[in-house]
Amino acid sequence: MSANKQTVRRYIDGFNTSDHAQILACLTDDIEWTVFGHFHITGKQAYDANIEGPDPVGVPPKVVITRMVEEDDVVMAEMTLEALQKDGSVMRAAMGEVFVMRDGLICERRAYVVPLESS
């Protein structure tokens, strides 16, 4: 596995344990994070403040990488998400994410999140 893919995997592992230090260690200081249709933030301080989302429940999400592809300094990941909500329900989503890398760190993250209906 390439160094860039290893960084993305380490980053996602940090999300699964809410390990802010591990997540932030994978990012450049000028990180940009866009979740299309929801928000855009810039910088590690803003990133750190948004790791748990706008309404944290104290339980880390479960993010599973199902596929990663890489070209030059871009890693694309297909993932699934399960996140506990305040009302006790579980939000499930399919995600496609673009990780732009610089010197082995993530300098931009663009997330496409599609909620899945419960069956």
> Taking the model in full, what pTM does it have?
0.92
Domain holding 110, by residue range, is 3-116
Surface-to-core class of residue 17, CB atoms within 10 Å of its CB (0-12 exposed, 13-18 middle, 19+ buried): exposed
Domains in the chain: how many in total? 1
CATH code for position 26: 3.10.450.50
116 — phi, psi (to 5°)?
-105, 135
94 — phi, psi (to 5°)?
-100, 140
H helix and E strand count, the chain? 3, 6
pLDDT per residue as tens, the chain (119 positions) = 999 999 999 999 999 999 999 999 999 999 999 999 989 999 999 999 988 876 677 788 999 999 999 999 999 999 999 988 888 889 999 999 999 999 999 999 999 999 998 65
Residue 4 CB coordination number (10 Å)? 21
